[in-house]
Amino acid sequence: MAAVLYALPFLLQGLLITLWVSALVVVFSLVIGVILGVGLVYGPRPVQWLVRLFSDCIRGIPILVLIFVVYYGSPPLGIAIDSFWAGVVALTLFKAAQVIEYARGAISSIPKGQMEAGKAIGLTFLQRLQSVIFPQAIRRFLPPWINGVTDAVKGSALISLLGVVDLMQSINEVIGRTYEAMPLYLLGAVIYFVINYSLSLTSRYVERRYAYIRD
Amino acid sequence: MDANERPLLKIEGLQKSFGQIDVLKGISMTVRKGEVVSIIGPSGSGKTTLLRCVNFLETYEHGSIQIAGQEVGFRDSSNRQRRGETDLARMRAETGMVFQSFNLFPHLTAAQNVMLGLVKVRKKSKQEAREIAEHWLTRVGLDHRIDNLPSELSGGQQQRVGIARAVAMEPKILLLDEITSALDPELVNEVLDVVRQLTEEGMTMLMVTHEIAFARDASNRIVFMDDGKVSAEGPPKELMAQAGSNERLDAFLSRFRTSHLH
Ligand SMILES: Nc1ncnc2c1ncn2[C@@H]1O[C@H](COP(=O)(O)OP(=O)(O)OP(=O)(O)O)[C@@H](O)[C@H]1O
Ligand SMILES: [Mg+2]
């Protein structure tokens, strides 16, 4: 047990990496996914077609395979990428493909007349997105997206397979030294749970805040 | 030509099709400043499509639409190069549109619905926009509903917000597409009263309507559209008189005559 306490600072470092990876993935995939989602709904045909292709390809590949494809596939393409960024890129691509679908679903649930009313008062495309479409779409976008955020935190554990010392990998390494598998995995499970449970609570709070439109 | 004589809205040879279906088959018409023109005609004759072309919610294959001498959707009438997004938005702000299904922004209060264009397009301060919104909402009889969401308003009230949202932008011309046809009969008059007031104040309007009596009383001219063409037009009395020589017009108007007998 003492050995486990001894290892706490090391585990804390791993936790920070897990949070850092998750945050990067969540932010990057949100930006990329929303932009591509908008392209999928409002873009010209070729753009729609490319986004569809991207989304279908990514979602058709197991995340684990995607991580190795990015890690081992980048150097031959002349892209120098370390294991940390390979993991972030792969997880981001995976997540972005999901965000595209959430965004598409949320945006296309808004009646066509909304965009037209925005046009009629002279709003530009970006103004219509900002003031008319997004504020309404967010209500439908948030629930699946926040669920997806907890997936991203859990999924980030996969980059331990590339040797990145995140929470998962730090636990593995401490176990390798101390053979205290059970308490350490339990500790890991509790930490992941606490992170995700607080995210879920936040999401419920946010959802209630955005429930301003009566159906 | 005298500046007052130049039409505010000038549509020439407008042709539009959806795929194989020709919907507008060469429409020409004008609306002068301060004039109220009503468009009537059977269902499917292209009235809505025509109105939507005027603020470029629909594009069209041939012809020209000019407001105050400026081509609406294209850089100029000869080369038909589509205006860029910002340019198009600026042109659209010159026309106001009131929709059959209201299309209010459901996440914004009545005041915010009116303020959005004032702040984003007209670049007014929040405070100034709020004052203008209050002014117009009071004018349409909604001074007690200024901070309500659309979902808290009746259909008639929602449509009056729709009108306030359009006129607050001070458009050169107001486009109205059957703005009372989604309303319960007892709510129609409160909306028509607002429109009547606006006509009396000299607002230029082009409206599609099935309210023949209203069109007759409130407009300077009526255009009868049939099968994508202007089949007859003139001041209300003259147009009604043409029914004798225009079979389609006669058939269309007779429906309203018989419905009055019931
Ligand atoms: N987006 C569209 N795609 C395909 N066809 C369309 C579209 N919009 C309208 N049409 C067709 O164009 C024709 C004219 O429609 P439009 O809505 O302009 O008629 P309208 O005169 O306004 O009729 P109503 O009195 O019923 O409102 C109809 O045949 C309609 O089916
Ligand atoms: Mg119509």
pLDDT for the residue numbered A36:
98
Q: What is the complex's ipTM, to 2 decimals?
A: 0.92
Secondary structure (3-state) at A204: helix
Taking the C-alpha atoms of residue A156 and residue A170, their distance in angstroms, rounded to an integer, is 13
CA distance, residue B256 to nearest chain A CA (Å):
30
Q: Where are the alpha helices (DSSP H) in chain B?
A: 47-54, 85-92, 110-120, 126-139, 155-167, 185-200, 212-218, 236-242, 247-261
Angle subtended at Cα A35 by Cα A30 and Cα A39, rounded to the nearest 5 degrees: 145
Taking the C-alpha atoms of residue B10 and residue A204, their distance in angstroms, rounded to an integer, is 54
CB B142 within 8 A of CB B174: no
Residues of chain B neighbouring A131 (CB-CB closer than 8 A): 105, 116, 120
pLDDT for the residue numbered B262:
43
Secondary structure (3-state) at B253: helix
CB B77 within 8 A of CB B64: yes
The mean pLDDT of chain B is: 93
* B200-212: average pLDDT: 94
Taking the C-alpha atoms of residue B94 and residue B99, their distance in angstroms, rounded to an integer, is 16
* B219-232: average pLDDT: 96
| pLDDT tens profile A107-164 | 999 999 999 999 999 999 999 999 999 999 998 898 889 888 888 898 999 999 998 9
Spell out the domains of chain A, with CATH numbers in brackets: 2-208 (1.10.3720.10)
* A89-110: average pLDDT: 96
Q: Which of B55, B89, B104 is nearest residue A124 as measured by Cβ atoms?
A: B89
Sign of CA dihedral B111, B141, B180, B170: negative
| pLDDT tens profile B157-186 | 999 999 999 999 999 999 999 999 999 999
> Which residue, among B37, B81, B27, has the nearest Cα to B176 in the 3D structure?
B37
| pLDDT tens profile B16-27 | 999 999 999 999
CB-based burial label for A61 (10 Å; 0-12, 13-18, 19+): middle
pLDDT for the residue numbered B1:
46
Mutation site, A110, A119, A121, A123, interface B, largest B CB count within 10 A? A121
Q: Tokens 């269309």 label which residue?
A: B252
**Ligand 1 touching residue B185 (CB < 6 A):** no
**Ligand 1 touching residue B209 (CB < 6 A):** no
Taking the C-alpha atoms of residue B187 and residue A171, their distance in angstroms, rounded to an integer, is 69
Cβ atoms within 10 Å of A12's Cβ, excluding its own = 13
pLDDT for the residue numbered A1:
66
Residues of chain A neighbouring B89 (CB-CB closer than 8 A): 119, 122-124, 127
Q: Answer whether residue A207 shows pLDDT above 80.
A: no
CA distance, residue B107 to nearest chain A CA (Å):
6
**Given phi > 0 = left and psi -120 to 50 = alpha, else beta, which region is B171?**
beta
**Cα-Cα end-to-end distance for chain A:** 55
A121–B106 CB contact, under 8 Å: no
Classify domain B1-91+204-262 at the CATH superfamily level.
Answer: P-loop containing nucleotide triphosphate hydrolases (3.40.50.300)
Ligand 1 pocket: which of B21, B38, B49 to mutate (most atoms <8 Å of CB)? B49
A120–B55 CB contact, under 8 Å: yes
**Cα-Cα end-to-end distance for chain B:** 49
- The DSSP result for A92-146, as a single string, is HHHHHHHHHHHHHHHHHTS-HHHHHHHHHTT--HHHHIIIIIHHHHHHHHHHHHH
Contacts of A6 (CB under 8 A, 6+ apart): none
pTM of the shown model: 0.89
CB A25 within 8 A of CB A91: yes
| pLDDT tens profile A4-45 | 788 888 989 999 999 999 999 999 999 999 999 999 999 999
